[in-house]
Chain A
Amino acid sequence: MIIAALLLLAATADDPSIDCDNQRYQVEMNYCAGKDYEVADVALNAQWKLTVATMRERDKTIDRSYDTQPTHYDALLAAQRAWLTYRDQHCLNEGFAARGGSMAPMLHSGCMARLTKARTAELQALVEEY
């Protein structure tokens, strides 16, 4: 059902008649939540590249004559993969709260956007704090 709803959402993509500053109907809310997630995903990917670049710089300082731990980059990649699994599973769960109702796409996209934004901040913090 969620997949069907997302297909429906995709069919309305880039519809200029929808004003996300003035959402009235569920179908508009679903569309705008999807747009919000798309924007968040682009920002996450941009921050990911920055954080990866920093981790690769840190990896250059690793002395392999005694340090056999995974590289900074490998640890980051493992965490990011774990996070992706968590986000997707968690948002599947959150969308499922509507049990196939018309709100399901909005709940799912809203969840994806919220967690993605939070992760972007975490990735930024990883390279700014130290």
Chain B
Amino acid sequence: MMFALLLALAAQPEAASVDADCGGNTLQMVQCANRSFDRADRELKLVWDEIAKALSDQDRRFDDHREPRLEIARTAHEAWLAFRDAQCAVEADSEARGGTMYPLIYIGCRTEMTRARVQQLRPTLGN
């Protein structure tokens, strides 16, 4: 079960794009894109909480004095969050440096990467 979980953790994000569901003027599009990101971010937090609970249970079963799995996994997850934001800055920079589209591309990229990670993590739950 943990093996499958870890394989899933490793899958990679897709390229960035602007949220197709968002219309209106630039400000409205940014607000809409932010809402999409917030939804994806909440989902990721829920999935992560489930995984943290599973790892915590596992750490209790393996009383082998090794570094807790949960701490290693948490460090990896936090590193992924930092990578997501840095990678999306590069993508937005490449597509729209200094332009009005920059925030839309940046937010859209973070939403897509977050959704992709949720999809990778979710199937591993409940196993």
CB distance from B87 to the nearest CB of A (A): 5
Do B87 and A97 have beta carbons less than 8 Å apart? no
* B interface majority secondary structure: helix
| A94 in the interface (beta carbon within 8 A) | yes
Chain B interface size band reads 20 to 34
Interface string of B58-98 (1 = CB under 8 A from A): 00001010110100110110011011011101110111011
Chain A interface size band reads 35 or more
> How many angstroms from the CA of A114 to the CA of B76 in the assembled complex?
16
Residues A102-130 near B (CB distance < 8 A): 107, 111, 114-115, 118-119, 121-122, 125-126, 129-130
> How many angstroms from the CA of A125 to the CA of B97 in the assembled complex?
17
| B12 in the interface (beta carbon within 8 A) | yes
Q: A85-B79, A96-B69 are in contact. Are A125 and B15 (CB under 8 A)?
A: yes
| B9 in the interface (beta carbon within 8 A) | yes
Do B76 and A90 have beta carbons less than 8 Å apart? yes
> How many angstroms from the CA of A114 to the CA of B91 in the assembled complex?
22
Do B66 and A99 have beta carbons less than 8 Å apart? yes
CB distance from B13 to the nearest CB of A (A): 8
Q: A69-B97, A126-B91 are in contact. Are A83 and B76 (CB under 8 A)?
A: no
| A79 in the interface (beta carbon within 8 A) | yes
